[in-house]
A and B are shown apart, each in its own frame.
Chain A
Amino acid sequence: MSFERIKPHFPWITLVVLILIVGIANPSFFDPAGLLTLVSDVVPLFIMALGMTFAIYIGGIDLSVQQLANLVTVIATVYLAEFGIAVAVIAIVAGFAIGVISGFVTTRLYVPSFVSTLAMGFVALSAAKFLSGQRALYMDAELRDASFGWMFGNTAGIPHELAIAVVLLVVAWFLQTRTTFGRALKAVGSGELAAIASGLNVDRVKILAFAISGVFAAIAGLLFSVKLSGGDANLANGFLLLAIVAVLVGGTPLTGGVGGVVNTAIGTLIVMVIRSAMVYLEIDATQQQMVFGIVLIAAIALTIDRSKLRGVVK
């Protein structure tokens, strides 16, 4: 097997190697219950990264996801009493709408997605501050359990959270690989001009990609809100960069068209392993952030497939 053939497999090889290193250094890492908890904890981040993958896959980026998730935590908390489980619908519609607006601003007004999604994030933040009255809000425990308690049960030892993540991954994977939309996404990401010259409605594809990113961010926010039983305009802060990192480390480069949602699953697990490894390897809390950064550089250097980065590396 030549080097060229192994390259696309680097992300998961990196993951396995990391797991082995941590596991050998501290065998308690392999404790199944502990692993399950670790994986469940990373689910909201994973869902956010899953959505982000669509934006990055077309060569754009979505910086609004964190604020969007914040907004959704507030929406869920404020309207839970009134709408019950239907609050999920409101959340998803909000995510979709903000994604569509970002996409519209990007494609029709020629504002780079870096700026348009950032700006839409500010708009979402405003809405979150307005709805929450700039206070941390708490859900009524009974109401929460009645509507969303099912999210956090266990069936046959599998946390429901994890099941939700797997279902969403399968849905995203199906969208990406089996539908005309997914094919169009790939065409836009790999060769936008050729997609245009083939008569694809490129603008619509892009707008939808941002909309999907918004929907996933909303689901992540909802999960987060239920998990922490509350809402706050700052609840999901710190997730944006991690979500981007998860996508990139998984092997979906910013240039688009390469990688995909399965890569993001691997990328999220890599991020998770690095972070938890520092706990297992008893690295001092003040050192963790720096170690994370350094390991991240190494992981990115290993996982990106440079032959797929067409043209110059900018």
Chain B
Amino acid sequence: MYELRQVDKHFPGVHALKAVDFKVNRHEIVGLVGENGAGKSTLMKVIYGAYQPDGGDVLIDGTVVRFQNPRMAMDHGIGMVFQEQSLILNLTVMENIFLGYEQQFVKLGVIDWKAMSEAARRQLAKVKLDIDPAMTTSDLSFAQRQLVELAKVLTLEERIDGDLVILLDEPTSVLAQEEVELLFSLVRDLTKRASFIFVSHRMEEVLELSDRIYVMKDGAVVDVVAHDGADKDAIQHKMVGRDVDKEYYREQKQKPYDEDKVLVRFDGVSSGNRYTDISFALHPGEVLCLVGTEGSGREAILRTIFGLETPTKGQVTIKGETISRFTAQNGVKLGVGYTPRERKIEGIVAGMNVYENMTLSQMGNYASAGVLKVNEEKSLARTWIERLGIKTPDVYKDCGGLSGGNQQKVVLAKWRSAGADIMLLDHPTRGLDIGAKEDVYEMIREMCAAGVGVVLVADTLEEAIGLSHTIIVLKDGAFQKRFDGKPGSKPSLYDLVHHMI
């Protein structure tokens, strides 16, 4: 009933969707998998009307439709449950549920809050969530918000006579195991009324829930597998284009670290309610991976090491120096480099060019008496552009216009060229394509060989296992378990998940 035929989408310099054929039948759950950058999110945006395709057709029940905006898609029964929370936090739950569709509760220009509240309760009942619809959304937990999002999309049930297609974008990433199961049983229930498109990184979940699975790579659909014929390894092979093996994470280059020296030491460190009583040591040449769900305290620990967060208890020692003043300036001085997760916002400065970004953390080295030596900056940038194979026309290119992988390389070059030997990597491969990911993995190994200690928060568990010497599992800010990850005796996915939730 819902169909895409030969849909194309171009962005400046990128062919994001290449002649994609995609179909959803009634009462069906369709899985959509692919690496980051494979074109999943572009495809979803086309489906829910945020993007208009450059070529091809969108058909509903065989008729060609064209959505100018998400609202039009919604009016055709297509709803999106966003991965990044799309609820407006300062509004109440019911206002969020009916945002843009308040008119039904308006009598003589007045909103009937009681009627809206009752209607909201009915929607919340569909997702089995028993909360007061008049609550402010910011007071809800992440899991509750996820269910409210689903309830919001389910208002389409009453509004639309025809069929519904509901997109679920990574709906499980903030949920605990029981919550995931609840969500799945809900979705199965709802197939009586709606079809679903389910997008997730967690392959097991996609396999469990979906009737058919679309596999995407480089903007094209490379395979469609039926539930019964699905095999995890085969799908992964298709996604990546070859086997995901030890080679991928450069395990053969994983060398033992120097146990005698300590770069960073945490002794019973706590920071408010973000994490409590954390102890570990980072050695030169070591990749230490912090594993846990969203909000488990991983990022807060990184930010503490860098100096952006002041712990409330415990002792942090960097290169033998006990830290008393936590400032980023101090962190940089001690040779700490930080690659934040939000690359476009925190990593690079969009609007500044390549060399300006590269020297941003070390301007003092390229200036005398506050006056910049621009020629030295440029030659530094040229050196690193060559060394890391950064694809940019010249050093004057605005970093905001580089591809994700190249932006990441600029960020890494910034710290490496300044001689940082403690690197904090927060989701360093997030949103990168396979080639760029492998470049990052290669660089991590190179850094280790050069005696750099790396604290990593990985994008996927596979990545965490593949890259790390040491894994520390966190849950709700508390230490759970430490794993050693020598090549050949790495912990399994199951080992980690078991302790995470």
Contact = CB atoms under 8 A, between A and B. Distances in A.
Task: Judge A-B direct contact (beta carbons within 8 Å).
Answer: yes
Interface of A: 178-181, 183-184, 186-187, 190-191, 193-201, 257-258, 308, 310
A191 B328 contact: no
Contacts of B108: none
B171 interface: no
A186 B328 contact: no
A2 to B, nearest CB: 12
Given A193-B342, A199-B329, A187 B349 contact: yes
Contacts of A187: 349, 352, 356, 360
B360 A195 contact: yes
B371 A200 contact: no
Given A191-B348, A199-B361, A310-B350, A183 B329 contact: no
A199 B360 CA distance: 9
B311 to A, nearest CB: 18
Interface of B: 306-308, 327-329, 331-332, 338, 340, 342, 345-352, 356, 359-361, 363-364, 367, 370-372, 374, 414
Contact of A179 (B329, B338, B340, B370): B370
Contacts of A181: 370
Given A180-B364, A186-B356, A199-B306, 20 more contacts: A179-B372, A180-B370, A180-B371, A180-B372, A183-B363, A186-B351, A187-B360, A191-B349, A193-B346, A194-B360, A195-B349, A196-B346, A197-B346, A199-B307, A199-B329, A199-B361, A200-B361, A257-B351, A258-B351, A310-B350
Contact of B328 (A184, A190, A197, A257): A197
A119 B283 CA distance: 52
Contacts of B350: 190-191, 310
Nearest to A258: B351
A173 to B, nearest CB: 13
B345 A194 contact: yes
A183 B347 contact: no
Q: Is the interface of A mostly helix, strand, loop or mixed?
A: helix
A191 B345 contact: yes
Contacts of A196: 308, 328, 346
A230 to B, nearest CB: 38
Contacts of A179: 367, 370-372
Contacts of A191: 345-346, 348-352
Contacts of B361: 198-200
Nearest to B351: A190
Which 4 pairs from chain A and chain B are nearest by CB?
A199-B332, A190-B351, A191-B349, A198-B361
Contacts of A183: 356, 359-360, 363, 372
